[in-house]
Amino acid sequence: MTLATGAALTAEPLDPLRGAWHNDDSTVAIHIDQCGTGLCGKVISASAQAVADARSGGTEHLIGTTLFKGYHRDGPNYWSGTVFVPDLGHSFSSHIVMIDHDHARIAGCLLGRFLCQSEIWQRQ
């Protein structure tokens, strides 16, 4: 009994990014979870317009596509990884800053952490 309790106390808490999120205009929703040693996020729902935009960018099937890849915590409330933008058909260097429990700023950047475009995602 003591071993089980000790193991439970030393287990790492779930990463606060894990769960379902949607973009600022609610056209795409993803589920973020552990993938190997990092976090990834796959599309779980999308509007008809988002699907059409993705298709025009070369992403035939948006639902199930991994948009967030290899995110690792770089500091308190800060993660770095790669974001795939389906309507552009391209991946970008990315970082996520947790604003509060239900909001995160996700940025895709051309040069490291420079020339970035970001938007606020909200937990579902």
Q: What is the rounded radius of gyration, in angstroms, for the C-alpha atoms of the chain?
A: 16
pLDDT at 13: 58
Instruction: List 95's β-bridge partners, or say none.
Output: 80, 107
Residues of the chain with pLDDT under 70: 1-13, 112
Q: What are 63-77's pLDDT values in tens digits?
A: 999 999 999 999 999
